[in-house]
A = this chain, B = another copy of it.
Protein backbone atom coordinates (compact mmCIF):
# COMPACT_ATOMS: atom_id res chain seq x y z
CA UNK A 1 0.00 0.00 0.00
CA UNK A 2 1.35 3.35 -0.98
CA UNK A 3 -0.39 6.24 0.69
CA UNK A 4 -0.37 9.28 -1.48
CA UNK A 5 -1.40 12.51 0.17
CA UNK A 6 -2.98 14.44 -2.65
CA UNK A 7 -3.08 17.59 -0.63
CA UNK A 8 0.51 17.70 0.43
CA UNK A 9 1.31 17.06 -3.20
CA UNK A 10 0.26 20.64 -3.75
CA UNK A 11 3.19 21.85 -1.71
CA UNK A 12 5.87 20.08 -3.68
CA UNK A 13 8.57 20.44 -1.08
CA UNK A 14 8.57 24.22 -0.63
CA UNK A 15 8.71 26.55 2.30
CA UNK A 16 5.27 27.61 3.40
CA UNK A 17 4.09 31.13 3.96
CA UNK A 18 2.00 31.39 7.08
CA UNK A 19 -0.33 34.28 6.34
CA UNK A 20 -2.00 36.79 4.11
CA UNK A 21 -3.67 39.98 5.35
CA UNK A 22 -6.27 42.33 3.95
CA UNK A 23 -8.11 45.23 5.58
CA UNK A 24 -10.22 48.11 4.31
CA UNK A 25 -12.17 51.13 5.50
CA UNK A 26 -14.91 51.42 2.92
CA UNK A 27 -17.29 54.29 2.34
CA UNK A 28 -20.03 51.70 1.85
CA UNK A 29 -21.26 48.78 3.93
CA UNK A 30 -19.44 46.27 1.76
CA UNK A 31 -16.09 46.03 3.55
CA UNK A 32 -16.46 42.28 4.04
CA UNK A 33 -17.16 41.72 0.34
CA UNK A 34 -14.08 43.70 -0.66
CA UNK A 35 -12.02 41.85 1.95
CA UNK A 36 -13.32 38.61 0.49
CA UNK A 37 -11.97 39.61 -2.93
CA UNK A 38 -8.68 40.66 -1.39
CA UNK A 39 -8.26 37.40 0.51
CA UNK A 40 -9.24 35.45 -2.59
CA UNK A 41 -6.26 37.03 -4.38
CA UNK A 42 -4.04 36.13 -1.42
CA UNK A 43 -5.21 32.54 -1.24
CA UNK A 44 -1.75 31.30 -2.32
CA UNK A 45 -0.42 32.59 1.04
CA UNK A 46 -2.49 30.17 3.09
CA UNK A 47 -5.19 27.63 2.28
CA UNK A 48 -6.19 25.99 5.51
CA UNK A 49 -8.23 28.60 7.37
CA UNK A 50 -9.59 32.06 6.76
CA UNK A 51 -11.59 34.68 8.61
CA UNK A 52 -13.08 38.15 8.28
CA UNK A 53 -14.02 40.52 11.10
CA UNK A 54 -16.19 43.53 10.36
CA UNK A 55 -17.08 46.55 12.46
CA UNK A 56 -20.46 48.19 12.34
CA UNK A 57 -21.85 50.71 14.76
CA UNK A 58 -19.14 49.97 17.26
CA UNK A 59 -19.58 46.24 17.47
CA UNK A 60 -17.47 43.58 15.81
CA UNK A 61 -18.87 40.60 13.98
CA UNK A 62 -16.60 37.80 12.86
CA UNK A 63 -16.62 34.57 10.90
CA UNK A 64 -13.74 32.15 10.48
CA UNK A 65 -13.40 28.52 9.58
CA UNK A 66 -11.15 25.88 8.06
CA UNK A 67 -11.16 25.96 4.25
CA UNK A 68 -10.61 28.13 1.22
CA UNK A 69 -11.90 31.70 1.06
CA UNK A 70 -14.62 30.79 -1.41
CA UNK A 71 -15.69 27.82 0.71
CA UNK A 72 -15.84 29.63 4.04
CA UNK A 73 -17.44 32.82 2.78
CA UNK A 74 -20.70 31.95 1.11
CA UNK A 75 -22.94 34.79 -0.02
CA UNK A 76 -25.07 34.11 3.02
CA UNK A 77 -22.15 34.55 5.40
CA UNK A 78 -20.92 37.69 3.64
CA UNK A 79 -24.37 39.23 3.80
CA UNK A 80 -24.38 38.85 7.56
CA UNK A 81 -21.02 40.61 7.77
CA UNK A 82 -22.33 44.02 6.79
CA UNK A 83 -20.24 47.04 7.79
CA UNK A 84 -17.78 49.61 6.55
CA UNK A 85 -14.56 48.42 8.21
CA UNK A 86 -13.13 44.98 7.90
CA UNK A 87 -9.98 42.95 8.16
CA UNK A 88 -9.32 39.40 7.04
CA UNK A 89 -6.75 36.67 7.09
CA UNK A 90 -5.72 33.48 5.31
CA UNK A 91 -3.36 30.97 6.89
CA UNK A 92 -1.79 27.59 6.92
CA UNK A 93 -2.05 25.68 10.12
CA UNK A 94 -0.52 22.61 11.57
CA UNK A 95 -2.35 19.36 12.12
CA UNK A 96 -4.34 18.54 15.23
CA UNK A 97 -7.98 18.53 16.13
CA UNK A 98 -8.21 21.99 17.68
CA UNK A 99 -7.08 23.78 14.58
CA UNK A 100 -9.84 26.30 14.57
CA UNK A 101 -8.53 28.02 17.72
CA UNK A 102 -5.49 29.02 15.73
CA UNK A 103 -7.44 30.61 12.89
CA UNK A 104 -7.34 34.39 12.62
CA UNK A 105 -8.50 37.12 13.03
CA UNK A 106 -8.64 37.11 16.79
CA UNK A 107 -11.57 39.03 18.25
CA UNK A 108 -11.23 39.95 21.91
CA UNK A 109 -12.83 42.20 24.45
CA UNK A 110 -10.82 44.15 26.99
CA UNK A 111 -11.56 47.20 29.12
CA UNK A 112 -11.00 49.16 25.96
CA UNK A 113 -13.87 47.46 24.19
CA UNK A 114 -13.79 44.96 21.39
CA UNK A 115 -11.08 44.66 18.82
CA UNK A 116 -10.01 42.36 16.01
CA UNK A 117 -6.39 41.52 15.24
CA UNK A 118 -4.63 39.72 12.42
CA UNK A 119 -0.96 39.04 12.09
CA UNK A 120 1.62 37.83 9.58
CA UNK A 121 5.09 36.97 10.84
CA UNK A 122 6.70 35.48 13.86
CA UNK A 123 7.80 37.09 17.12
CA UNK A 124 11.17 35.83 18.30
CA UNK A 125 10.43 36.74 21.89
CA UNK A 126 6.90 35.46 22.09
CA UNK A 127 7.91 32.60 24.34
CA UNK A 128 9.40 34.99 26.93
CA UNK A 129 6.46 37.35 26.62
CA UNK A 130 3.99 34.54 27.15
CA UNK A 131 5.83 33.27 30.20
CA UNK A 132 5.90 36.80 31.57
CA UNK A 133 2.25 37.46 30.82
CA UNK A 134 1.22 34.12 32.25
CA UNK A 135 3.17 34.88 35.39
CA UNK A 136 1.14 38.05 35.66
CA UNK A 137 -2.08 36.11 35.33
CA UNK A 138 -2.81 36.12 31.62
CA UNK A 139 -4.44 33.10 30.08
CA UNK A 140 -3.92 31.93 26.52
CA UNK A 141 -6.35 30.21 24.23
CA UNK A 142 -4.08 29.63 21.27
CA UNK A 143 -0.45 29.55 20.20
CA UNK A 144 -0.92 32.69 18.12
CA UNK A 145 1.49 35.58 18.43
CA UNK A 146 -1.55 37.74 17.89
CA UNK A 147 -2.80 36.75 21.30
CA UNK A 148 0.43 37.97 22.87
CA UNK A 149 -0.08 41.35 21.25
CA UNK A 150 -3.69 41.45 22.48
CA UNK A 151 -2.56 40.82 26.06
CA UNK A 152 0.10 43.50 25.86
CA UNK A 153 -2.52 45.94 24.61
CA UNK A 154 -4.91 45.03 27.40
CA UNK A 155 -2.27 45.34 30.08
CA UNK A 156 -0.77 48.62 28.94
CA UNK A 157 -1.82 51.29 31.38
CA UNK A 158 -2.73 53.77 28.66
CA UNK A 159 -6.30 54.83 28.20
CA UNK A 160 -5.84 55.81 24.62
CA UNK A 161 -5.68 52.85 22.24
CA UNK A 162 -2.98 54.36 20.10
CA UNK A 163 -0.79 55.12 23.06
CA UNK A 164 -1.34 51.61 24.28
CA UNK A 165 -0.46 50.25 20.88
CA UNK A 166 2.74 52.23 20.71
CA UNK A 167 3.67 51.17 24.24
CA UNK A 168 2.89 47.50 23.62
CA UNK A 169 4.64 47.20 20.32
CA UNK A 170 7.91 48.17 21.98
CA UNK A 171 7.91 44.82 23.76
CA UNK A 172 7.70 42.61 20.74
CA UNK A 173 10.67 41.56 18.66
CA UNK A 174 10.80 39.81 15.33
CA UNK A 175 8.80 39.82 12.16
CA UNK A 176 5.31 41.24 12.14
CA UNK A 177 2.84 42.93 9.93
CA UNK A 178 -0.26 43.52 12.02
CA UNK A 179 -3.76 44.77 11.29
CA UNK A 180 -6.01 45.91 14.15
CA UNK A 181 -9.64 46.94 13.91
CA UNK A 182 -10.86 48.93 16.91
CA UNK A 183 -12.68 52.13 17.74
CA UNK A 184 -13.81 52.52 14.17
CA UNK A 185 -10.27 52.62 12.87
CA UNK A 186 -8.07 50.19 11.00
CA UNK A 187 -4.45 50.20 12.19
CA UNK A 188 -1.63 48.72 10.16
CA UNK A 189 1.87 48.21 11.61
CA UNK A 190 5.02 46.78 10.13
CA UNK A 191 8.04 45.77 12.16
CA UNK A 192 11.17 47.96 12.12
CA UNK A 193 12.99 45.55 9.79
CA UNK A 194 10.08 45.21 7.45
CA UNK A 195 10.41 41.43 7.31
CA UNK A 196 6.91 40.65 6.14
CA UNK A 197 5.16 42.68 3.45
CA UNK A 198 2.38 45.23 4.00
CA UNK A 199 1.11 47.42 1.21
CA UNK A 200 -1.21 50.41 1.18
CA UNK A 201 -3.69 50.48 -1.66
CA UNK A 202 -6.81 52.20 -2.87
CA UNK A 203 -10.04 50.54 -3.88
CA UNK A 204 -12.69 52.77 -5.42
CA UNK A 205 -11.18 55.73 -3.60
CA UNK A 206 -11.09 53.97 -0.21
CA UNK A 207 -7.86 53.03 1.51
CA UNK A 208 -6.93 49.41 2.10
CA UNK A 209 -3.98 47.37 3.40
CA UNK A 210 -2.78 44.04 2.07
CA UNK A 211 0.14 41.64 2.05
CA UNK A 212 0.56 41.91 -1.70
CA UNK A 213 -0.32 44.42 -4.37
CA UNK A 214 -2.27 41.80 -6.34
CA UNK A 215 -4.89 41.82 -3.59
CA UNK A 216 -6.21 45.22 -4.65
CA UNK A 217 -6.72 44.42 -8.32
CA UNK A 218 -9.65 42.04 -8.12
CA UNK A 219 -11.73 44.60 -6.28
CA UNK A 220 -10.83 47.21 -8.90
CA UNK A 221 -8.09 48.96 -6.92
CA UNK A 222 -4.34 49.42 -7.04
CA UNK A 223 -1.31 49.61 -4.78
CA UNK A 224 -0.25 53.03 -3.52
CA UNK A 225 2.95 52.36 -1.61
CA UNK A 226 4.58 50.00 0.87
CA UNK A 227 4.13 50.60 4.56
CA UNK A 228 7.61 51.50 5.79
CA UNK A 229 9.50 49.54 8.43
CA UNK A 230 8.49 50.86 11.82
CA UNK A 231 5.51 52.70 10.36
CA UNK A 232 1.94 52.65 11.61
CA UNK A 233 -0.91 53.82 9.41
CA UNK A 234 -4.34 54.65 10.78
CA UNK A 235 -7.25 54.41 8.36
CA UNK A 236 -10.52 56.10 9.11
CA UNK A 237 -13.43 56.81 6.84
CA UNK A 238 -12.15 59.43 4.46
CA UNK A 239 -8.72 59.89 6.03
CA UNK A 240 -5.36 58.27 6.49
CA UNK A 241 -2.65 59.11 8.97
CA UNK A 242 0.88 57.79 9.31
CA UNK A 243 3.21 57.62 12.27
CA UNK A 244 6.67 56.20 12.72
CA UNK A 245 6.19 54.09 15.85
CA UNK A 246 9.77 52.87 15.94
CA UNK A 247 13.13 53.92 14.63
CA UNK A 248 13.39 51.93 11.40
CA UNK A 249 16.20 49.39 11.45
CA UNK A 250 18.05 48.33 8.35
CA UNK A 251 15.32 46.98 6.09
CA UNK A 252 15.25 43.19 5.94
CA UNK A 253 12.45 42.22 3.62
CA UNK A 254 12.07 38.45 3.26
CA UNK A 255 13.77 37.56 0.00
CA UNK A 256 11.71 34.38 -0.27
CA UNK A 257 8.68 36.50 -1.08
CA UNK A 258 10.41 37.16 -4.41
CA UNK A 259 11.75 33.65 -4.82
CA UNK A 260 8.62 31.66 -4.15
CA UNK A 261 5.72 33.02 -2.09
CA UNK A 262 4.36 36.06 -3.82
CA UNK A 263 2.25 35.95 -6.92
CA UNK A 264 4.21 36.88 -10.07
CA UNK A 265 1.89 39.82 -10.73
CA UNK A 266 2.71 41.33 -7.32
CA UNK A 267 5.21 44.14 -6.95
CA UNK A 268 7.11 45.08 -3.79
CA UNK A 269 8.62 48.53 -3.97
CA UNK A 270 9.63 48.96 -7.58
CA UNK A 271 10.32 45.29 -8.19
CA UNK A 272 7.85 43.06 -9.90
CA UNK A 273 8.08 39.49 -8.70
CA UNK A 274 7.97 37.89 -12.13
CA UNK A 275 10.69 40.16 -13.50
CA UNK A 276 12.95 39.56 -10.52
CA UNK A 277 12.53 35.83 -10.90
CA UNK A 278 13.49 36.10 -14.53
CA UNK A 279 16.62 38.01 -13.60
CA UNK A 280 17.51 35.24 -11.16
CA UNK A 281 17.23 32.78 -14.01
CA UNK A 282 19.44 34.93 -16.19
CA UNK A 283 21.99 35.27 -13.43
CA UNK A 284 22.01 31.52 -12.84
CA UNK A 285 22.64 31.01 -16.56
CA UNK A 286 25.57 33.40 -16.45
CA UNK A 287 27.06 31.64 -13.44
CA UNK A 288 26.39 28.08 -14.53
CA UNK A 289 25.70 27.81 -18.25
CA UNK A 290 24.81 24.16 -18.71
CA UNK A 291 25.12 22.63 -22.15
CA UNK A 292 21.67 21.41 -22.94
CA UNK A 293 19.07 21.25 -25.67
CA UNK A 294 16.03 22.52 -23.89
CA UNK A 295 15.03 24.49 -20.76
CA UNK A 296 12.00 23.19 -18.85
CA UNK A 297 10.55 24.93 -15.79
CA UNK A 298 9.20 23.07 -12.80
CA UNK A 299 5.79 24.74 -12.82
CA UNK A 300 4.50 27.09 -11.63
CA UNK A 301 7.19 28.65 -9.47
CA UNK A 302 10.10 27.89 -11.79
CA UNK A 303 8.54 29.39 -14.93
CA UNK A 304 9.84 32.95 -14.69
CA UNK A 305 13.40 31.90 -13.85
CA UNK A 306 13.39 29.29 -16.60
CA UNK A 307 12.44 31.95 -19.09
CA UNK A 308 15.34 34.09 -17.96
CA UNK A 309 17.69 31.15 -18.09
CA UNK A 310 16.64 30.16 -21.60
CA UNK A 311 16.81 33.74 -22.86
CA UNK A 312 20.30 34.23 -21.50
CA UNK A 313 21.62 31.12 -23.20
CA UNK A 314 19.35 31.39 -26.27
CA UNK A 315 18.06 27.90 -25.58
CA UNK A 316 14.54 26.77 -26.38
CA UNK A 317 12.13 27.23 -23.45
CA UNK A 318 9.55 24.46 -23.32
CA UNK A 319 6.64 23.43 -21.14
CA UNK A 320 7.90 19.92 -20.85
CA UNK A 321 6.09 19.41 -17.55
CA UNK A 322 2.35 20.06 -17.54
CA UNK A 323 0.62 20.82 -14.26
CA UNK A 324 -2.55 18.90 -13.57
CA UNK A 325 -5.42 21.28 -12.83
CA UNK A 326 -7.44 18.78 -10.85
CA UNK A 327 -5.19 17.65 -8.04
CA UNK A 328 -7.45 16.36 -5.38
CA UNK A 329 -7.52 14.50 -2.16
CA UNK A 330 -5.44 11.96 -0.38
CA UNK A 331 -5.87 8.43 -1.60
CA UNK A 332 -4.58 4.96 -1.16
CA UNK A 333 -3.56 2.79 -4.08
CA UNK A 334 -3.15 -0.94 -4.13
CA UNK A 335 0.06 -1.46 -6.09
CA UNK A 336 3.57 -0.84 -4.91
CA UNK A 337 4.57 0.07 -8.42
CA UNK A 338 2.58 3.28 -8.20
CA UNK A 339 5.20 4.80 -5.92
CA UNK A 340 6.06 7.96 -7.75
CA UNK A 341 2.42 8.76 -8.23
CA UNK A 342 2.80 11.59 -5.76
CA UNK A 343 4.52 13.81 -8.25
CA UNK A 344 2.78 12.35 -11.29
CA UNK A 345 -0.58 13.44 -9.97
CA UNK A 346 0.75 16.97 -10.00
CA UNK A 347 2.97 17.03 -13.08
CA UNK A 348 2.84 15.26 -16.43
CA UNK A 349 5.86 15.12 -18.73
CA UNK A 350 5.39 15.85 -22.43
CA UNK A 351 7.40 12.97 -23.82
CA UNK A 352 7.56 14.36 -27.36
CA UNK A 353 9.46 17.39 -26.05
CA UNK A 354 11.77 15.49 -23.76
CA UNK A 355 12.73 12.39 -25.72
CA UNK A 356 16.39 12.25 -26.60
CA UNK A 357 17.07 15.73 -25.24
CA UNK A 358 19.58 17.09 -22.77
CA UNK A 359 17.06 18.71 -20.44
CA UNK A 360 17.80 21.63 -18.12
CA UNK A 361 15.12 21.74 -15.43
CA UNK A 362 14.78 25.06 -13.61
CA UNK A 363 13.23 25.22 -10.15
CA UNK A 364 13.08 28.16 -7.73
CA UNK A 365 14.36 26.34 -4.64
CA UNK A 366 14.97 22.95 -3.04
CA UNK A 367 14.00 22.29 0.55
CA UNK A 368 14.19 18.57 1.36
CA UNK A 369 14.94 17.36 -2.11
CA UNK A 370 12.35 14.61 -2.11
CA UNK A 371 10.23 16.03 -4.89
CA UNK A 372 13.21 17.11 -6.99
CA UNK A 373 14.34 13.51 -6.98
CA UNK A 374 10.98 12.27 -8.25
CA UNK A 375 10.82 14.94 -10.95
CA UNK A 376 14.33 14.29 -12.19
CA UNK A 377 13.51 10.60 -12.35
CA UNK A 378 10.26 11.21 -14.18
CA UNK A 379 11.97 13.35 -16.80
CA UNK A 380 14.65 10.73 -17.27
CA UNK A 381 12.02 7.99 -17.68
CA UNK A 382 10.36 10.13 -20.33
CA UNK A 383 13.41 9.68 -22.48
CA UNK A 384 15.71 12.58 -21.61
CA UNK A 385 19.31 11.91 -22.51
CA UNK A 386 20.58 14.08 -19.67
CA UNK A 387 18.75 15.81 -16.82
CA UNK A 388 20.33 18.90 -15.30
CA UNK A 389 18.74 20.85 -12.51
CA UNK A 390 19.25 24.58 -12.08
CA UNK A 391 17.96 26.25 -8.93
CA UNK A 392 17.41 29.98 -9.18
CA UNK A 393 18.27 30.63 -5.53
CA UNK A 394 21.13 29.60 -3.22
CA UNK A 395 21.09 26.43 -1.10
CA UNK A 396 18.68 26.66 1.84
CA UNK A 397 20.75 25.74 4.86
CA UNK A 398 19.04 27.52 7.77
CA UNK A 399 15.61 27.60 9.36
CA UNK A 400 13.53 30.78 9.32
CA UNK A 401 12.37 32.42 12.54
CA UNK A 402 10.42 35.17 10.88
CA UNK A 403 7.23 33.63 9.74
CA UNK A 404 7.92 30.80 7.33
CA UNK A 405 6.99 27.27 8.12
CA UNK A 406 10.41 25.84 7.38
CA UNK A 407 11.41 22.34 8.19
CA UNK A 408 13.94 21.57 10.88
CA UNK A 409 17.52 22.35 9.89
CA UNK A 410 18.51 18.73 9.64
CA UNK A 411 15.76 18.09 7.09
CA UNK A 412 17.12 20.76 4.74
CA UNK A 413 19.06 18.66 2.28
CA UNK A 414 21.61 21.38 1.52
CA UNK A 415 22.48 21.65 5.19
CA UNK A 416 23.43 17.97 5.23
CA UNK A 417 25.20 17.53 1.91
CA UNK A 418 27.33 19.56 -0.45
CA UNK A 419 26.08 20.39 -3.92
CA UNK A 420 27.64 17.26 -5.35
CA UNK A 421 25.93 15.22 -2.65
CA UNK A 422 22.57 16.78 -3.34
CA UNK A 423 22.98 16.19 -7.07
CA UNK A 424 23.69 12.57 -6.41
CA UNK A 425 20.75 12.25 -4.07
CA UNK A 426 18.28 13.64 -6.55
CA UNK A 427 19.88 11.80 -9.43
CA UNK A 428 20.62 14.78 -11.65
CA UNK A 429 23.50 14.82 -14.13
CA UNK A 430 24.39 18.21 -12.76
CA UNK A 431 23.00 20.56 -10.17
CA UNK A 432 23.65 24.28 -9.97
CA UNK A 433 22.41 26.80 -7.43
CA UNK A 434 22.43 30.55 -7.87
CA UNK A 435 25.26 31.93 -5.74
CA UNK A 436 24.46 34.20 -2.83
CA UNK A 437 26.56 36.85 -4.52
CA UNK A 438 24.60 36.37 -7.70
CA UNK A 439 21.34 36.73 -5.79
CA UNK A 440 22.62 40.02 -4.37
CA UNK A 441 23.53 41.21 -7.84
CA UNK A 442 19.99 40.58 -9.01
CA UNK A 443 18.92 43.04 -6.33
CA UNK A 444 21.72 45.38 -7.36
CA UNK A 445 23.46 44.78 -4.05
CA UNK A 446 20.81 46.84 -2.38
CA UNK A 447 21.32 45.33 1.04
CA UNK A 448 17.74 45.49 2.30
CA UNK A 449 16.68 41.87 2.34
CA UNK A 450 16.70 39.06 4.84
CA UNK A 451 18.50 36.08 3.36
CA UNK A 452 19.15 34.25 6.64
CA UNK A 453 17.88 30.96 5.26
CA UNK A 454 20.77 31.07 2.79
CA UNK A 455 23.39 33.07 4.66
CA UNK A 456 22.64 32.36 8.29
CA UNK A 457 22.90 36.03 9.20
CA UNK A 458 19.78 36.55 11.28
CA UNK A 459 18.89 40.21 11.73
CA UNK A 460 17.02 39.67 15.01
CA UNK A 461 17.67 36.93 17.52
CA UNK A 462 15.44 35.72 20.31
CA UNK A 463 14.58 32.58 22.14
CA UNK A 464 12.32 30.78 19.75
CA UNK A 465 10.12 28.65 21.87
CA UNK A 466 7.57 27.55 19.38
CA UNK A 467 8.16 23.87 19.98
CA UNK A 468 7.92 24.30 23.70
CA UNK A 469 4.85 26.47 23.43
CA UNK A 470 2.91 24.05 21.39
CA UNK A 471 3.10 21.43 24.05
CA UNK A 472 -0.12 22.51 25.64
CA UNK A 473 -2.34 23.05 22.65
Contact = CB atoms under 8 A, between A and B. Distances in A.
Given A134-B109, A139-B151, A265-B348, A97 B326 contact: no
A437 interface: no
A40 B344 CA distance: 11
A471 interface: yes
Interface of A: 6, 28, 30, 33, 36-37, 40-41, 43-44, 47, 59-64, 68-71, 74-75, 77-78, 80-81, 96-98, 100-101, 106-111, 113-114, 131, 134-141, 150-151, 153-156, 204, 214, 217-220, 263-265, 267, 272, 274-275, 300, 303-304, 307, 317-319, 322, 324-326, 328-329, 331-335, 337-338, 341, 344-345, 348-353, 471-473
Q: Which of A77, A106, A350 has the most CB of B within 10 A?
A: A350
Given A44-B325, A140-B108, A351-B265, A472 B113 contact: yes
B75 A353 contact: no
Given A41-B348, A61-B97, A274-B353, 17 more contacts: A30-B335, A40-B326, A40-B328, A63-B97, A63-B98, A64-B98, A106-B141, A109-B134, A109-B141, A218-B341, A264-B350, A265-B350, A267-B351, A267-B352, A272-B351, A274-B319, A274-B352
A189 B381 CA distance: 31
A304 B300 CA distance: 16
Nearest to A219: B338
Contact of A335 (B28, B44, B139, B351): B28
B70 A328 contact: yes
A472 B140 contact: no
A107 to B, nearest CB: 7
A50 to B, nearest CB: 11
A69 B272 contact: no
Contact of A134 (B40, B154, B214): B154
A141 B105 CA distance: 12
A9 B128 CA distance: 49
Across the A-B interface, the 6 shortest Cβ-Cβ residue pairs: A70-B328, A137-B155, A114-B472, A272-B352, A111-B134, A43-B326
B109 A131 contact: no
A131 to B, nearest CB: 7
A107 B141 contact: yes
A151 B78 CA distance: 33
A149 B119 CA distance: 28
